[in-house]
Structure 1
Amino acid sequence: MSTSDLFTRGSAAYRRLMIAVFLVGIAIFLMMYNTQGLLPQIAATYGSSETDASWTVSATTLGMAIGFIPLSTIALRRGYFVKMTAFLLAATTVGLLVPFAPTLGWLIAGRFTQGFLISAVPAAALALIAHRVDPIAVVDATGIYLAGNTIGGLLSRVLTGLLTDVADWQVGLFVMSVICLVCGVLLLFLRPRPQPGTGGPIVVPGADTRMRQAAADSLRTPGVWVWCATGALLMCCFAAAYTALGVRVQQAPFNLSAGQAGAIFLLYVIGTIATARTRVVVSRYGARRTVLGAIALLVVGFALTLSGSLLVILVGVAIITGAFFVGHTTASSSVSLLAPPHARSTASALYLTAYYVGSSIGSTGSTTLFVHAGWLAVVIGAIVALAIAAGLHLHALRAAVPAPARRHVTVS
């Protein structure tokens, strides 16, 4: 594909695509984490522990991690936008049924199925950005998608919490699925027209073979696996903070309701702001120094959450949120930009697989640590993970490989 075939910033097709990936970003997180602040209520409904209930979060992200690679091959066969829309609507259909699960096991199974189906959606969205957007606009386009993630994440926690206070958690989950359905229907009207000369959607024959080769080529590319590991470790810590915190603040001495606990997720707005500013920071300091700065801020944020003051805890969570999204945006865009052109969608799928494995470990792992050992154990676990991530990049800085001249983002 030539440069003239790409969607360029300011074009009508680019604007339609950005609206679409923004809505997709919202819908994904509306589905993924809407049980995160409801673990005490879910546990009470099914007579289980908060640790068992945390699998309603981890099963979803685990399903996503398992689905990314195989479902990415379907993207290459069918076209990215069509696949993105179809799988979003399929996952939404499951989501409409999940609130009526008769047992916790069925609820977890439904959440896993949702995660598996929706794994195709971010993989397709990021592949669209990597393959069809002008490289100069890749970081901005990725930021728009991730901004949708932050808004979806915010709405899923806040609205489900409020609806749980007013009605119950099942109503909250059902309403989230209805909103996702609206997003999916809007996608049907937002499909960008092909650029002159593209001949329509990309359809690649021999997808399985190409996928295996692309995965191997991606992992052989210097830096790709480091950024994938970084995404996993950062997400592990971020999921730990919000999942275990949702349980912590609904217990003594805070005793917040589900709606009040959900309001904490309004701090996700900070993630939207941080995502939008990431390109400027990366352009000035380089990706590795940017992510090391984000890691340092994450450590500060976790340290503040050890306080017994709710206000200080919220300041800590605000720092964690902003720092995480800077780190995640940097890592995600670096993987896409470092990967060979023919392997960018696969590299994005590898990154997201690692990222959501980290989320699964962080969600249930942090809840288990909190229930059995308290909040200090959660903080120690997060700092250990952050130290590993920092070590990877400090080592890479000492043996830095210059980014190819054609890349817009500095990754050294």
Structure 2
Amino acid sequence: MNTRSQAKQDGSEIRLIIGLSIASMVIFINLYLVQGMLPLIADSFSVSKSHATLLLSVTSFTMAFSLLLFAVLSDRVGRKKPILVSLYLLVILDFCAFFITEFNQLILLRMLQGALLASVPAMAMAYFKDELGNNALLKAGAIYIAANSVGGIAGRLLGGGMAQYLDWQQAMALLTLVSLIGTLVVTYLLPKSHFVKPEAELGRWPLKKADFNGFCHHLADPKLRLIYLIGGLAFMVMVNQFSYIQLHLMDNPFKLGRFEVTLIFLCYLSGTYASYCSAKWLGRFGLNKVFICSVSALLAGTLLTLFDTLAAIFAGFLLSAFGFFLIHSSCNAWVAYRAKQHRAKATALYLCSYYLGAAMGGPYLLPFWLVWGWQGVVLGSVLGLMVLVFVVFKLVQPKSASSSLLMDL
């Protein structure tokens, strides 16, 4: 390959990584904006703040199952087209939110948005696998997961700022503008896809039973089942802790304001760093050590918040976010490498479990919150993390062939 062709290929790979990273930021801003807007939503739609936290659960629920459908669709028509179509439809729904007046209407809208938000997470790693060599895949995946966390931070802080300074209509107008700009940038950046539709798929429509065989293939793999469970359990605890800690910080003795309370999401920056470094650490220390260190950090960070000072709470969430994103990055890379076929379906199954965990975590922790407050949330979290510890040790036990990173993938 001559120098010009190599430079063109390198440029295309860079555009792909940046384009999908920006697309993920648009997705996660839309997903997590409501988590920073809980006070505004509660006031605008006359519901309690704890009730408003369920908005994230319903969005995550529809997102989880839509991941499976997008994975099937992407194996039919490729990766690029479904991503762009879903992003433009998301912009339209953001604009529709401007006219929402009832909480039930907002729940329905968020369920529809959840279905569209699944497009990029379902296809990104398969898109990378199609277009990049193995040497670039881990790095691209790490950058992509880091972009996820940046999008999550930006969405929550943007939501907090909206709750503090804007009314509902103004907030939705701003969100529509942000989504539109991001979508236009992604349209410009994403290079032409080299995805080739399998000959067996040509002319077959509508979807048939065979389209779902890939899910059965991956679910039959016991190691993948454990990875799916690890991601779901970790996210069930982590993302919902961030919802309830806001309510705790707005109450006595802290009494933080609507925007001030969202600054807790800056703790995600430790997760951004962990995501970026995950490929290097996986290669240096292996999967076992990284998983054990990650779960230990998540558990220690949760317990640290029991000291119930601002310093302890922020330190605890910094540690928890670090551990969680290291788990998530490791799981994502592991699934992408292990899947030799039906790659989008393998990733979609992992993310389906991941977002189902988020959907179940809100209702699971709500009774703990209502009875014992933040201490109850910690108790519920620790119980969930004990199950996570058991699953991780089952995966990394010495007799397991997965005891060294990607050894049998």
TM-score greater than 0.5 by the shorter chain: yes
Q: Which moved more, 1:112-121 or 1:132-141?
A: 132-141
Distance 1:169 1:142 in 2: 35
Distance 2:167 2:318 in 1: 28
When normalised by structure 1's length, the TM-score is 0.90
Q: 1:211 to 1:369 in 2, by over 3 A?
A: farther
Q: What is the Cα deviation at residue 266 of structure 1?
A: 1.7
Distance 2:310 2:148 in 1: 26
Q: Within 5 A, what are the aligned runs for 1:157-196? A: 157-193=156-192
Name the SS of the counterpart of 2:33 in structure 1: coil
Q: What is the Cα deviation at residue 172 of structure 1?
A: 3.1
Distance 1:398 1:266 in 2: 35
Residue type of the alignment partner of 1:257: G
Q: Within 5 A, what are the aligned runs for 1:72-87? A: 72-87=71-86
Q: 1:269 to 1:170 in 2, by over 3 A?
A: farther
Equivalent residue number for residue 103 of structure 1: 102
Q: What is the Cα deviation at residue 154 of structure 1?
A: 0.9
Q: Indicate conservation of the 8 Å contact 1:101/1:107, yes or no.
A: yes
Equivalent residue number for residue 290 of structure 1: 290
Gaps of 5+ in 1: 1-6, 195-199
Q: What is the Cα deviation at residue 44 of structure 1?
A: 2.4
Q: Which moved more, 1:29-38 or 1:8-17?
A: 8-17
Cα displacement string for residues 208-238 of structure 1 (whole angstroms, at most 9, x for unaligned residues):
4554221111122241011010000010111
Equivalent residue number for residue 390 of structure 1: 389
Distance 1:32 1:191 in 2: 22
Equivalent residue number for residue 126 of structure 1: 125
The sequence identity of aligned pairs, in percent, is 24
Q: What is the Cα deviation at residue 71 of structure 1?
A: 2.3
When normalised by structure 2's length, the TM-score is 0.91
Q: What is the Cα deviation at residue 253 of structure 1?
A: 1.3
Residue type of the alignment partner of 2:75: L
Distance 2:76 2:179 in 1: 25
Q: 1:269 to 1:236 in 2, by over 3 A?
A: same
Q: Within 5 A, what are the aligned runs for 1:104-253? A: 104-193=103-192, 200-204=194-198, 205=201, 206=204, 208-253=208-253
Equivalent residue number for residue 44 of structure 2: 45
Q: 1:333 to 1:210 in 2, by over 3 A?
A: farther
Equivalent residue number for residue 3 of structure 2: none
Q: What is the Cα deviation at residue 50 of structure 1?
A: 2.3
Equivalent residue number for residue 342 of structure 1: 341
RMSD between superposed Cα atoms in Å: 2.3
Q: Within 5 A, what are the aligned runs for 1:261-300? A: 261-300=261-300
Distance 1:35 1:364 in 2: 16
Residue type of the alignment partner of 1:305: T
| Count of matched residue pairs | 398
Q: 1:372 to 1:270 in 2, by over 3 A?
A: same
Q: What is the Cα deviation at residue 97 of structure 1?
A: 1.7
- Does 2:322 match 1:355? no
Q: 1:42 to 1:365 in 2, by over 3 A?
A: farther
Q: What is the Cα deviation at residue 267 of structure 1?
A: 1.8
Residue type of the alignment partner of 2:276: A
